[in-house]
Structure 1
Amino acid sequence: MSKRYNIQNLEQLQAQLFMLKSGYTEKGSLLTQNVKLYVKQYTLGSLIRKYATPNALLKIDDKMNISSKVMSFVLPVIMNSTFFRGSGFMTKALVGLATSKMGKTLDAEHISAMFNTVKGLFNKAKKTRKPGLQVDYGIPPDSETF
């Protein structure tokens, strides 16, 4: 589809060429900006920032129960390799069954609550009062109430 331009002289022709070239470069730069934004949107870092947030992981976990499946496999291994290391086959089998059942009931909210509880215990230990701080009772130090 060709456009028809009403060009009468050489100056109008040069002006029309300049407008077409400037439009061409403007559209080209706009296209490269859009491509850069599109590619930047699907880089590995942006995908991780978008989908690896705690809220997104909790939504995925609510649908698929990933954390409970992982805990049902990991918890028996941890218990048998640490607490019941020297016990017999029957004890390890019973512990494995019990902990796998318990692991299925755990989900991401329970795990994060346990983590926050343990984290809170360590934060309370750090919040002890530092020596050398004086409490201000509102009495100026140069008053005669001493």
Structure 2
Amino acid sequence: MKKIRKYNIRNLEDLHAEVASLKAEYMMQEGVLFSDTKVYLKQFTLGGFIKKYATPSAFLKIDDKLNLSSSVMSFVLPFIMNTTLFRGSGFLTKTLIGLASNKVGKTLDAEHLSAIFNAVKSWFSGSRKKKTKEGADVDYGIPPDSETY
């Protein structure tokens, strides 16, 4: 619906004043519209998505609908499985592996991923302490004929 304005213009000065006020109103509305559009478009940039979803709490399970780590894993895990382990497999095998790893990827969340990472890390790091032989005497640097022995 178009807004009808009534102008009270009687002479040339009133006309110029009305044109100036309309230009000022136009410029003000343009600035407001430009800033609102800028804010609206900023939420759809890569930085806006990172600020919204890539927080530490977003990687944890907020609710069943939004679980960023399991969503990423449901896409990445089938790709990794098909390109590394099952590279020479046929179409049917790759499809079945893709479906199975997609389901497994959806169940993984940040806690499961960190537990798996820590388990794999413990396999490679292990305990690096030298074990002493139980039967051997420990040499403390004191000779056995010493009076303090």
TM-score under structure 2 normalisation? 0.50
Match of 1:143 in 2: 144
Q: What's the C-alpha RMSD, in Å, of the aligned pairs?
A: 3.4
Question: Which residue identity does 1:88 align to in structure 2?
Answer: G
Paired position in structure 2 for 1:106: 108
Consecutive unaligned residues in structure 2, runs of 5 or more: 1-50
| In 2: Cα distance, 1:91 partner to 1:138 partner | 62
Instruction: Give 1:95 deviation, angstroms.
Output: 0.6
Deviations 1:16-70 (A, max 9, x none): xxxxxxxxxxxxxxxxxxxxxxxxxxxxxxxx9xxx8xxx61x323113111000
State the one-letter code of the partner of 1:62: K
Structure 2 CA distance for aligned equivalents of residues 103 and 80 of structure 1:
14
Q: What CA distance in whole angstroms lies between the structure 1 residues aligned with 2:130 and 2:140?
A: 22
Q: Which residue of 1 aligns with 2:61?
A: 62
Q: Secondary structure at the match of 1:87?
A: coil
SS in 2 for 1:62: coil
More helix by share: 1
- Which letter does structure 1 place at the counterpart of 2:143? D
Cα distance, 1:140–1:128 mapped onto 2, change above 3 Å: closer
How many pairs does the alignment contain? 89
**What TM-score do the two structures reach when normalised by structure 1?**
0.50
CA distance in 2, matches of 1:68, 1:130: 42
Distance 2:103 2:73 in 1: 9
Per the TM alignment, residue 140 of structure 1 is displaced from its structure 2 partner at its CA by 6.0
Sequence identity percentage? 51
Alignment of 1:93-132 (within 5 A): 93-124=95-126, 127-129=128-130
Q: CA deviation at 1:80?
A: 0.5
Q: Deviations over 1:84-135 (max 9, x none)?
A: 111111111111000000000111000000111111222215x14189xxx9
Q: Where does residue 11 of structure 2 map in the other structure?
A: none
Name the CA distance, whole Å, in 1 between partners of 2:139 and 2:84.
Answer: 56
Matching residue's letter, 2:73? M
Letter in 1 for 2:107: T
1:73 to 70, 75, 89: 75
